[in-house]
């Protein structure tokens, strides 16, 4: 039998050591532990040390994923780094930095940018390289140093995000299952709802842009909330339909961890019991591209996914964009 499927053969995560709880934020901006918990479900988040970068966190998540998969770095065909906070703006790709740090001498490498939806896109892209038969071992990492693009004076955003990385190794396999279906979507009308105004080709860095704090993330929280509560159930139902499945078949949903209220809203819309939706937003906040791979790792560590399970992952974010995928755990 030929290796006609893809499987997630290894996984790893990295959370920076430094824990910043809501009380620490109370001393920085006009906010409260009660407000943050009630409006977002977040209790604490991790913040990268000054010497840590998106690349260094990605490497620390990738190594255990490679070990678990039994894949040497030199056997990797491709490295995809999903990130919105690359080490350098534009180029080189953080993927190339990760490739060098791992010693993945045979691998191609690139970044996927799709806001907090990037890992969802990266995972589907990586799987396609394997499903076409072109490649056998693909590393997909979601890594974001959100603390570097957050305005620590803006209480409406700084309380919501954290830093982390998560990685999976995709391998060709003859075990049936793997990626059953996916939905990728984008609504660029929503671009100004969540963006970093300056530092790109539209508004290059200048004294004025720095003074205007235009290199930090800006967000219309209410509109993004409405978008997220629509897109999670909508795209998961569409992906299920493409796989010939229904919500009754779902063993676990791993949604992007942005806000417990968004997740709860989606869970109720999908009519799923709490135990079938994974959450860890309380511990890490919104870690952007790292959110889904870190949640996947923790779900696996907790034994919440076993062979044969149907798992839905739904990433969404700036763009606005979304990426949902249905996997049969093989
Ligand atoms: N502490 C205390 N008060 C705060 C605050 C904070 N950190 N941030 C905002 N507020 C205030 C607002 O200024 C507002 O005050 P006002 O009524 O006097 O103007 C009030 O709290 C309510 O703000 P509102 O925006 O209506 O709150 P909300 O219930 O919509 O929650 C978010 C705000 C940001 C938590 C919520 O909209 C959200 O999660 N949106 C999605 C964000 C997201 O997930 N983005 C990433 C997607 S990948």
Q: What is the pLDDT of residues 79-90, one digit of tens each?
A: 999 999 999 998
**Nearest CA residue ID for atom 26, ligand 1:** 222
Helices (H) and strands (E) in the chain, counts: 11, 13
**Ligand 1 centroid vs 9 CA: distance in angstroms?**
39
Please tell me the residue having the least CA distance from ligand 1 atom 10.
156
> What's the pLDDT score for residue 28?
96
How far, CA to CA in Å, does 306 sit from each of 116, 157, 171, 271, 309? 27, 36, 18, 22, 6
Q: What is the residue with the minimal CA distance to atom 19 of ligand 1?
A: 156
List all residues whose CB is within 6 A of at least one atom of ligand 1: 31, 35, 39-40, 116, 155-156, 159, 219, 221-222, 224-225, 228, 258-259, 286, 317
- List beta partners, residue 324: 183, 314
pLDDT in tens, 156-185: 999 999 999 999 999 999 999 999 999 999
Residue 217 CA to residue 195 CA, distance in Å, equals 6
Residue 203 pLDDT: 96
Mean pLDDT of the chain: 97
CA distances from 330 to 13, 24, 175, 231, 258 (A): 20, 43, 6, 27, 28
- Catalytic residue positions, numbered: 116, 256, 286
Give me the helix-helix angle, 33-40 and 260-269, nearest 10°. 20
What single string gives the DSSP state of each residue in 147-163? GGTS-TT-HHHHTTB-E
Q: What is the mean pLDDT of residues 197-208?
A: 96
- Residue of 32, 39, 152, 223 with the most ligand 1 atoms within 8 Å of its CB, for mutation: 39
CA distances for 62 relative to 33, 42, 67, 172, angstroms:
33, 26, 9, 18
pTM of the full predicted structure? 0.97
* Ligand 1 atom showing the smallest separation from residue 158 Cα: 7
Distance 173 CA to ligand 1 centre (A): 45
Q: Residue 82 has what DSSP assignment?
A: E
List, in sequence order, every residue forming a beta bridge with 81; answer none if it has no partner. Answer: 111, 141
pLDDT at 253 over 60: yes
Please tell me the residue having the least CA distance from ligand 1 atom 36.
221
Q: Tell me: the pLDDT tens digits for 225-247?
A: 999 999 999 999 999 999 999 99
Q: For residue 3, what pLDDT band results from cuts at 50, 70 and 90?
A: confident
ω before 327 within 30° of 0 (cis)?
Answer: no
SS3 of 23, please?
Answer: helix
Q: In the prediction, which pLDDT does 124 show?
A: 98
Half-sphere exposure of 35 (CA within 13 A, CB side): 12
User: Separation of 266 CA from ligand 1 center, angstroms?
Assistant: 19
Alpha helices for 159-217 (secondary structure H): 207-211
Q: What is the mean pLDDT of residues 152-159?
A: 97
**Could you give all domains of the chain from N- to C-terminal order, each with its CATH number?**
5-176 (3.40.47.10), 179-328 (3.40.47.10)
For residue 200, report the distance from its CA to the centre of ligand 1, in Å: 27
Q: How far apart are alpha carbons 308 and 70 in whole angstroms?
A: 21
Per-residue pLDDT tens digits for 7-63: 999 999 999 999 999 999 999 999 999 999 999 999 999 999 999 999 999 999 999
């Amino acid at each position: 039998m030929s290796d006609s499927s893809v499987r997630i053969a290894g996984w790893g995560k990295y959370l920076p050591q430094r824990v910043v709880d809501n009380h620490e934020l109370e001393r920085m901006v006009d906010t409260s532990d009660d407000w943050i918990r009630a409006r977002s479900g977040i209790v604490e988040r991790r913040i990268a040390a000054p010497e840590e970068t998106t690349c260094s966190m990605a490497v620390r998540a990738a190594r255990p994923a490679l070990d678990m998969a039994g894949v040497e770095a030199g056997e990797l065909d491709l490295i995809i780094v999903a990130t919105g906070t690359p080490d350098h703006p534009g180029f080189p790709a953080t993927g190339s930095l990760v490739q060098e740090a791992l010693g993945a001498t045979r691998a191609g490498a690139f970044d996927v940018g799709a806001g907090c939806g990037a890992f969802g896109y990266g995972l589907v892209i990586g799987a396609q390289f394997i499903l076409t038969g072109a490649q056998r071992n693909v590393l997909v990492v979601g890594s974001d140093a959100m603390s570097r693009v957050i305005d620590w004076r803006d209480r409406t955003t700084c309380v919501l995000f954290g830093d982390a990385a998560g990685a999976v190794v995709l391998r060709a396999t003859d075990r049936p299952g793997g990626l059953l279906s996916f939905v990728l979507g984008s609504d660029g009308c929503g671009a100004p709802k969540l963006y970093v105004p300056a530092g790109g080709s539209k508004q290059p860095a200048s004294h004025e842009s720095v003074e205007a704090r235009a290199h930090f993330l800006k967000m219309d929280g209410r509109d993004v909330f409405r978008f997220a509560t629509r897109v999670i159930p909508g795209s998961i139902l569409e992906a299920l339909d493409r796989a010939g499945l229904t919500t009754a078949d779902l063993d676990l949903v791993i949604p992007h961890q942005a806000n417990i209220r968004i997740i709860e809203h989606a869970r109720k819309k999908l009519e799923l019991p709490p135990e079938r939706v994974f959450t860890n937003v309380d511990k890490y906040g919104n870690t952007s591209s790292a959110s889904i791979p870190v949640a996947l790792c923790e779900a696996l560590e907790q034994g919440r996914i076993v062979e044969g399970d149907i798992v839905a992952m739904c990433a969404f974010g700036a763009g606005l964009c979304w990426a949902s995928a249905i996997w049969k755990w093989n």
